[in-house]
Amino acid sequence: MKFNWITNREIDEQLHQLCVELEYEFRPKIIRFLIDNFDVDSFVDFSCFHFDVNLVSKRVTLSDDTPLKYLQKIKPAFEREMELTFA
């Protein structure tokens, strides 16, 4: 699983720490979602999934870098069910 950090400024130490904290918060929720929506026996890991974490809009979305066959399967449900936003 890969997180793409989208920001309007350079990532300094303080922002880097925020990114680490957010990833720790989001990763378990996303993994649970993926396990619920895929047969986990068919995956060695979830490394092909990419997520955009937009630090400007404060939203997490499924990235277009995710393979199309997975993107098409879960994007609507991810957007509807996950609503990963932050303050």
Which pLDDT band holds residue 85 (cuts at 50, 70, 90)?
low
Computed over every residue of the chain, the mean pLDDT equals: 89
The kind and range of the H/E element at 17 are helix 13-37
Residue 50 to residue 63: CA distance in whole angstroms? 5
Counts of helices then strands in the chain (DSSP H, E): 2, 3
Cα distance from N-terminal residue to C-terminal residue, the chain: 23
Residue with tokens 């999934």: 49
Residue 65 to residue 48: CA distance in whole angstroms? 8
- What is the 8-class DSSP label of residue 58? T
Residue 67 scores a pLDDT above 90 = yes
